[in-house]
Amino acid sequence: MNRPTLNRPTLNRLTLALALSCYASSALAEPLTVEFWHIFGDAKRKGFIDQKAAEFNAKNPDIKVVPVVKGNYSENLQAAILASRQGQPPALVQVFDVGTQLAADSGVFQPVGNVEKTDYGDYLKPVLDYYTLQGKINSLPFNSSSPVLYANRDLIKKAGLNDGALPATYGALLRSCAKIKAALPDAKCITFGASSWFVEQWMAEQGTTLVNNGNGRAARATESNLDSPAAKNIFSFIKKLNDGGFYSFTGKLDDGAGSAAIFTAQKSVFLISSTADLGNQLDAAKQGSYRLGVGLLPIQDGSARNGVVIGGASLWIAKGIPDNVADAARTFALFMTNTANMKEWHKLTGYYPVRKSSVSELRKEGWLDSAAPQTVAFRQLLNTKASPATAGALFGGLLPARQIIQEGLQKVLQGQDVDSVTRDTKAQVDKVISDYNKSLGK
Amino acid sequence: MDTPVFKGRLFPWLLLLPSLMVLAVFLYYPAVQTLRLSATASNLITGNARFVGWENFTDLLRDPSYVQSAALTLLFCALVVSLGLLVSLSLALLASSVRRGARWYRLALIYPYALSPAIAATLWLFLFNPEVGMVNTVLGDLLGIRPRWLDTPGLAFGLVVMAAVWKNVGYNVAFYIAAIQNLPKDVLEAARIDGAWGSRMFWRILFPLLSPMTFFLVFANLTYALFESFALVDILTKGGPVMGSGGATRFLMFRLYTDGIENYKTGFGAAQAVLMFLGVALITLAQFRFAGRRVQYGA
């Protein structure tokens, strides 16, 4: 008979393991579980988060952070809110900038500043401003970025232009485009996704808020400024680019990936895209063996450079969880965004390091040499003037408003005139705002 | 007289119970909830739900952009079903008459169906990128034209139709090939002896014999065009480009998703789901009523 048996050494080892695990579970109380719901499913960024959670768990044996990927931003917020309503909130949630007002109105989160006194002075002010509601720091900045101008320096040279300074205003860009068009029949001047994000940035650069009542921060917004002279400047610029035959895009709304493909195929001299794209762009330039330049986001001629809105996402702490769990969640969030980790995060992805201490350490390491492409992105961030315009718009209907603004851009690209498009766009966005306010019963 | 299979009345219900329970949880309960939600102005995020009666429905039906979406959806469905079945039946007939390597033809024809819709749409997006896509590179070199596939309303609409037809050809071909293989040989032989060839053979013999399969596929393709082509639209065009009072490819399902899921207007989304359900019910009834009679199920 051939009966399977355990040999003695295996049996001994099993007994030992069993004994040890009994000992471990009795000696240590169950660790506090902190679920962290985020949206980074890609290997690079998910890897960073998983690694930081593992480091944190090793250092804090009484806490167990469990990162979970929950689809895109919209789905992540929705899942977190439904889970909260069913009494199972995740302790820590990554919420995108445009969802800030929605998340605040949902009532399932608590301001991060509530949990315990922490010094937030080390965070960069323009970044922190976005997530400060009614004077309270509501969430911790995590992945922050703004748009910059990427340039193919080899093509610029080929077009016979000065490849030293990149155009920093609409006018300078249009003049460069005219020369590029004459010199380079195979490439367009500029590409970027027809995205509302750029319109929001260009409003802020001109010091104009997107919506009234201090961008919805002094009181709830009731109407948009999409027919303001600042907005008309933006739409006119797009029209001039398009009419001149300088602009290239895939035609799909908000298709940043399509524009990046056009730029890396060297079919366009310039690209406007997020600083978070920097890593990919540097890789692509190396592969395509062309020199990459990075410049400030071009703005309206004659306007002061007021700065950019720091977009991205922040970390929110749920309401209705035990205080020690909330504390643990906050401790982890602060750990993941500490000086060293923010430096690493920046080098890995191109997202801004949102702490002053990280920036000064990077500077000491020579990472911010004047020649380095990321210097420009930093200057754009550090020189941003604090104001309601650069703090970013806050209103519940920002998501549908973005769709409407993008459709407005496309109407201009299809040849409609700027005045009627901005008038329509404003009317539609205003309706979204008033519908949202009505849905709150206010 | 029918003799009952089961003695007693309770036993058959007991056997049905597991299925009924699954249906109740995953179908009937959500359906009732959808109906209830459709009469509210509710926002998922803020958790507010205010009873508004018919308001969502009247808002929708009075909104020219919704009416445009509905009309475009009808046109889209009609094109996807008719072109899809025409292409699939032709391909299935051709593939069935091949003698050597028939398996490979079948495999190649069914392959697109095995791709996930998201991957298929991304492939199409790469191919039809107007600036750097393969299609325009070839067209530009050969004919000197570079169509703007994604922001010319007519072309974008056509592109989504083509992609949707292509994506479902594999499914249709698989069913048609099976049906063709099961055709009664004696009938075909008799027709041949009587001198039926070509188009006459097709319209008088093959088409009627295949009508039960066509009848089924019309319905399957209709639900595909209405509901499952969503991923293609989401990735290829995002409902754009702007046309009239909306987008050229903003079909009802895509609209429902943007309003109900992306913009969290749950009640408004639910009302759209109810309207879509009524539409499908109506079309299905009409189909059984009018087309169903003409289906030949044979002896």
The residue among B187 and A263 whose pLDDT is bigger is: A263
Answer whether B46 sits within 8 Å of A407, measured CB to CB.
Answer: no
Instruction: Inspect the interface and report whether the beta carbons of A78 and B241 lie closer than 8 Å.
Output: no
Above 90 in pLDDT, residue B293? no
Per domain, the residue ranges of chain A are 31-144+310-364, 147-307+396-439
Task: Give the start-to-end residue ranges of the domains of chain B.
Answer: 63-264
CB contacts < 8 A (A, B):
101
CA distance A441 to chain B (A): 9
Residue numbers in A near B151 (CB within 8 A) = 251-252, 410, 413-414
pTM beyond 0.95, yes or no: no
Average pLDDT over residues B156-173: 95
- Distance in angstroms (rounded) separating the CA atoms of residues B253 and B276: 8
Could you tell me which chain A residue has the CA closest to the CA of B47? A106
| Test mutation, B127, B146, B242, B265, chain A, max A CBs within 10 A | B242
Residue labelled with tokens 């719901």 = A37
CB contact under 8 A, A106 and B47: yes
Identify the three-state secondary structure at position A142: strand
Task: Look at residue B164 and tell me whether its pLDDT is greater than 90.
Answer: yes
- The residues of B whose Cβ lies within 8 A of any Cβ of A are 41, 43-48, 50, 125-126, 129-132, 148-152, 156, 236-242, 247, 258, 261-264
- Provide the percentage of residues in chain B whose pLDDT is more than 90: 54
The 10 Å Cβ neighbour count of residue A128 is: 22
Q: Strand, helix or coil at A188?
A: strand
Residue-by-residue DSSP string for chain B: -PPPSSSSSHHHHHHHHHHHHHHIIIIIHHHHHHHHHTTEEEETTTTEEEE-TTHHHHHHHH-HHHHHHHHHHHHHHHHHHHHHHHHHHHHHHHHHH--SSHHHHHHHHHHHHHS-HHHHHHHHHHHT-TTT-HHHHHHHHHHS----TTTSHHHHHHHHHHHHHHHHHHHHHHHHHHHHHTS-HHHHHHHHHTT--HHHIIIIIIHHHTHHHHHHHHHHHHHIIIIITHHHHHHHTTT-SEETTEETT--HHHHHIIIIIIS--HHHHHHHHHHHHHHHHHHHHHIIIIIGGG-----
Confidence of residue B199 (pLDDT cuts 50, 70, 90): confident
CB contact under 8 A, B129 and A250: yes
Looking at the partner chain, which of B48, B238, B242 has a beta carbon nearest the beta carbon of A254? B238
Can you read off the two tokens belonging to residue A347?
A: 């080098």
Assess whether pLDDT exceeds 80 at residue B225.
Answer: yes
Minimal CA separation from B114 to chain A, in Å: 23
Chain A contact set for B263 (CB, 8 A): 397, 399-400
Average pLDDT per 10 consecutive residues for chain A, totaling 442 residues: 49 53 52 94 92 96 94 90 92 93 91 72 86 88 92 94 88 96 93 95 96 94 96 97 94 90 95 90 92 94 92 91 92 93 89 90 84 79 89 90 94 94 96 88 60
Fold match, A31-144+310-364 / A147-307+396-439: yes
Range with the lowest mean pLDDT among A161-165, B213-217, B247-251, B260-264? A161-165
Q: Which chain B residues are within 8 Å of A248, Cβ to Cβ?
A: 131
Among left, alpha and beta (phi > 0; psi -120 to 50; other), residue B13 is: alpha
Across the range B194-207, mean pLDDT stands at 84
Residue B291 confidence (pLDDT) above 80: no
CATH 3.40.50.300 fits A31-144+310-364, yes or no: no
Q: Residue B2: pLDDT band by 50, 70, 90 thresholds? A: low
pLDDT for A156 equals 95
**Closest CB from A252, A254, A439 relative to B43:** A439
Contact check, Cβ <8 Å, A251/B150: yes
Contact at CB, B238 and A252, closer than 8 angstroms:
yes
* pLDDT at residue number A116: 58
- CATH class of the structural domain A147-307+396-439: alpha beta
> According to the model, what pLDDT value does residue A27 have?
45
Distance CA A266, CA A287 (A): 12
- Residue A104 corresponds to which tokens in the numbers above? 């605040």
Q: Of the given ranges (A124-133, A188-197, B59-68, B137-146), which has the lowest mean pLDDT?
A: A124-133
B218: pLDDT strictly greater than 70: yes
Nearest CA in chain A to B130: A250
CATH class name, domain B63-264: mainly alpha
Select from A250, A395, A424, A436 the residue whose CB has the most chain B CBs within 10 Å, as the one to mutate to test that interface.
A250
Q: Which chain A positions have a beta carbon within 8 Å of B257's beta carbon?
A: none
Please report the pLDDT score of residue A419 as a whole number: 96
Minimum-distance CB partner of A410 among B43, B125, B241: B241
Note whether A439 contacts B241, CB cutoff 8 Å: no
